[in-house]
Amino acid sequence: MTNIILFGPPGSGKGTQAAKLVEKYNLLHISTGDLFRYEIGNNTPLGLKAKSYIDNGNLVPDEVTIGMLKNKVDSNPDVKGYIFDGFPRTIPQAISLDEFLANKDLTINALIALDVDDEEIVNRILLRGKTSGRADDNDRSTIQNRIDVYNESTSQVYGHYNEKELSHTINGLGTIEEIFGRLCSLMDTKV
């Protein structure tokens, strides 16, 4: 089973590239953002709680995120692997994911980070905000807060997996196809 973490700041192209990787490698894409949007869209208590954090550019508490992720994995046991997108975002989440997978005799095969500079991230998210309907995609200060949160805590997850020699970085700039080509080269040789 191939289990990868697609990593990078908000707006780095994780969702776009994950969809292409799913098609090529037949993996299940688990996006915490999609899980949250589903809960929020259905106005569940969990969704309303998550929304209050997301709208301010903050991370949703671990216990909420981990619970939703476990449910998704448990409900899809017969896939060839998982692409974790937007999770883990902290060291405690990474440890929880590692332990959860180990209990299923699984492991993370690679963390693949999309490297994109902050100004490009802001421009991509503002552009996405014109059609996404997401309040957090239209406010420059909220976007910057999301980038700051990523830089302060989430980027440490890269080091967690790098200690296990599982972290890789690819250039996240270029056309969708150019970036996908870089991802596939890495998947085919390192994962």
Is 37 an active-site residue?
A: no
Which residue among 37, 51, 89, 124 is the active-site one?
89
Instruction: Report which of 136, 68, 126, 61 is spatially closest to residue 100, judged by C-alpha positions.
Output: 68
Is 146 an active-site residue?
A: yes
**Measured at the alpha carbon of residue 176, what is the angle toward residues 166 and 19, in degrees to the nearest 5?**
65
Is 128 an active-site residue?
A: yes
Is 51 an active-site residue?
A: no
Whole-angstrom CA distances from 26 to 52, 124, 159 are 34, 27, 28
Which residue among 128, 130, 140, 164 is the active-site one?
128
Which residue among 14, 37, 51, 124 is the active-site one?
14
Q: Three-state SS for 110?
A: strand
Which residue among 20, 49, 72, 134 is the active-site one?
134
* Residues with a known catalytic role: 14, 89, 128, 134, 146
